[in-house]
Structure 1
Amino acid sequence: MNILTFTLSSVSAFGVLLSIGLAMYFPKAQTQTSKFSNILLSILLLTASLRVVKPLLLVYAELPQWLDRLARTSMAVSAPLLLFYILAVLENKRDIKRLDYLHFLVPLIYLCLPFLDQPFNRTLYAFLLVQNVVYVGVSVFTIISHHQQHHTLVYHWVVLLTVSMSMIIGCYVFAFLYDGSIFFLCRSSIFAYSSLIMLLTLSILSKKFIFALPKAEKYKNSKVPSEKIEELYFRICTTVEAQQLYLDADLTLQKLAEMVGLTAREISQVINLQTQTNFSDWINGFRIEAAKRKITSREYRNQKIAAIAFDSGFNTLSSFNATFKNKTGYTPTEYRNVNTTENLN
């Protein structure tokens, strides 16, 4: 065994074992994201590790056909999982609906119908790669559309995760188009995946991104006196409501800080401690209340839901629908129908 093969084997084994450990840790971890999103992240790590380790195993032996297909299937599953994880974090998606399972129909068919790929079907494999690229593209679009709407640490975490997964998928696309060698896939995909796993591990150990410290410990050394929190919160709310700042879709923590005369950190602390939520969720609460008033008003009776969403401070309809359902238990259309019926009665 040469040094390169030994190094690849060691890095791969370390990355896969560490990712399995992280996958077991996330469902019970205390993070700034929901338990549902943590479970999705766990499954995403498991499927990605299964795909990444396959090229290395091929260096040593020919894999059984079922294991080879399972690895390719995991690649097709990883991309939709990435999109669902992003939606869970950025749009508070809490579960998978029946129609959502259609996203996994292609990998399911590929796994259950082995004759489609015996012998290896290059066209079918190309289709799986294209599917991955499309999902990555949709994921990137979703992230861009939520720019400045979310807590910086959470948003940056989603960006870094997407970049890492894109690198892994990009390695397979490049190998398919230009290289095709097992050693190229070993070097490139394992490097990209190991980078992701190390990023995750360092984030947990250093309490960064979604693993940031709990609020009480986070603000332990803050200069804002605890007895001033309520007074400052009233001041912030008064400014936001009086000037209807929530209607500005581009409103950021820094912009609000400048208007109120506090630092961004101080406003974040006050909102966190007073409402147990972050700036994004807090400001969206004002927007949803404004939307509820518009939906039930005569002035907006004939307006489309999309127009109400944009007039209320949201810059994407999907974000508005998800936030509205999360905070009211109804979709905007259901809320309009219920209130229209009550008014008629």
Structure 2
Amino acid sequence: MDTSELNRFVVILIYGSLVLLSLLKLSNPIKVNRKANFWFGIFLFLWSSFWLDEILFLVTDSTIEIHSLLFVRFIQFFTPITFYLSVLFYTNPVFKFKISDLKYTILPVIFLISLIFIEFGFYEFQYVILSLILFQALFYTGLSYFTIRKHQKKIQQFSSNTEDINLNWLEYIILILFIVNIVYVIYNLSYNPNSLNFFINSVFLLVIYFVGYNSLKQKEIYPVEERQREELISIDENAETEGVRKKLISDDELLKLKNQLETLMDIEKPYLDSELNLIRLSELLSISTHHLSYVINTGFQKNFFQYVNEYRIEYAKKLLKDSSKNKLSILGIAYESGFNSKTSFNTTFKKLTNQTPSEFKK
């Protein structure tokens, strides 16, 4: 099988995988992250359309340039926007569109007008088209990346284990696609682009399988109950680093709650629950989530993630020193200490002690 035949096979896999994955996300059989999965499904379907010409050629054995149709080009222009909207709803499921969000339609309208001018023979607008495509792709890719980074800070304010909800996989997709596009542009300037097709398509196929695996196992990020969800989303991700904070309680009340929290952590050890979050801990302390967040941020100068995991690491250190626990593996100690994976345990342990658990045990 030569390279061209392999490339055809890869193209079929790409298109089929994207369409199937799109249908799975739109139908959302496990009913999680509903709005995010809807927009992600639309994004995948639009993404698949970029291979439609090649698929039709393989089926009909004749060149059919679907991508040159005005309607298709206009719809494909929305691909980066739908990706950003999926990121937006993953990170903020209670987001609602406002009148001000009409600003997102400005570039598509300019794009459509440029397409119409080209249809009437004003081919100089082709440069406007290319500029708009490039700008929109870079703008929404960058906006999606910074939205995910902001989300990764926010979830540390209410979750003690962030590995399953940090959306790292979306961040990796953005970086990989950005690098692939740079390679493609540079190669096009210097070499025959056709020779790169197989390589680029192979990379895209791997990215699609990576997307499929991670998107299908993505858990619900925020609680399903709307009141709790809105409470957590309203917590400021920068609260623990702000120089001036809004004072929610008096200094005396703060000191009292700090002591109560430390007593609770020492006696009941709620941190050993791998599913512990701000809501559960606030219920144990019988205070609101906002007050508990304020106590941890202001009273201990930490976020919720840091505060809970420091207790877990101290508990793990005791287990590692305890000769009666020698039968426990590192993974066993991680689970005993409240972590839900060896990776998160090793990363947190190394960050707080400058040693791996194995090094500390020796």
Shift of 1:255: 3.0
CA–CA separation in structure 1 for the residues paired with 2:171 and 2:79: 16
List aligned pairs for 1:65-84, cutoff 5 A: 67=68, 69=70, 72-84=73-85
Question: Is 1:115 the equivalent of 2:117?
Answer: yes
Q: 1:130 to 1:28 in 2, by over 3 A?
A: same
For residues 229-266 of structure 1, give each alpha carbon's deviation from its aligned partner in whole angstroms, at most 9, with x where no partner exists: x8996169799839711458961524323248778977
Question: Is 1:166 the equivalent of 2:166?
Answer: no
List aligned pairs for 1:7-156, cutoff 5 A: 7-29=6-28, 34-54=33-53, 62-64=63-65, 67=68, 69=70, 72-111=73-112, 113-116=115-118, 119=123, 121-150=126-155, 151-155=162-166, 156=168
Amino acid in the other structure paired with 2:295: Q
Q: Unaligned 5+ residue runs, structure 2?
A: 156-161, 225-271, 317-333, 341-362
Amino acid in the other structure paired with 2:45: L
CA–CA separation in structure 2 for the residues paired with 1:10 and 1:203: 24
> Which SS does the other structure have where 2:154 is aligned?
coil
Q: 1:99 to 1:257 in 2, by over 3 A?
A: same
> Which SS does the other structure have where 1:154 is aligned?
coil
Contact 2:32 2:219 in 1 (8 A): yes
For residues 39-88 of structure 1, give each alpha carbon's deviation from its aligned partner in whole angstroms, at most 9, with x where no partner exists: 01001101111124546768975443664555644553121222222211
> Which SS does the other structure have where 1:152 is aligned?
coil
Shift of 1:132: 1.0
For residues 266-324 of structure 1, give each alpha carbon's deviation from its aligned partner in whole angstroms, at most 9, with x where no partner exists: 7689xxxxxxxxxxxxxxxxxxxxxxxxxxxxxxxxxxxxxxxxxxxxxxxxxxxxxxx
> Aligned pair count?
255
CA–CA separation in structure 2 for the residues paired with 1:56 and 1:183: 19
Q: Unaligned 5+ residue runs, structure 1?
A: 216-222, 270-345
Contact 1:83 1:135 in 2 (8 A): yes
> Which SS does the other structure have where 2:153 is aligned?
coil
Shift of 1:97: 3.7
TM-score in terms of structure 2 length: 0.54
For residues 17-49 of structure 1, give each alpha carbon's deviation from its aligned partner in whole angstroms, at most 9, with x where no partner exists: 121111111133256952110001001101111
Q: Give aligned-pair identity as a percent.
A: 15
Q: CA RMSD in A?
A: 4.6
CA–CA separation in structure 2 for the residues paired with 1:68 and 1:175: 27
Pick aligned residue for 1:253 from 293, 305, 314: 305
CA–CA separation in structure 2 for the residues paired with 1:167 and 1:138: 17
Q: Which has the larger radius of gyration?
A: 2
Shift of 1:98: 4.3
List aligned pairs for 1:251-290, cutoff 5 A: 251-259=303-311
Contact 1:53 1:190 in 2 (8 A): no
Amino acid in the other structure paired with 1:157: W
TM-score in terms of structure 1 length: 0.56
CA–CA separation in structure 1 for the residues paired with 2:127 and 2:192: 12
Contact 2:14 2:208 in 1 (8 A): yes
Aligned to 1:197: 208
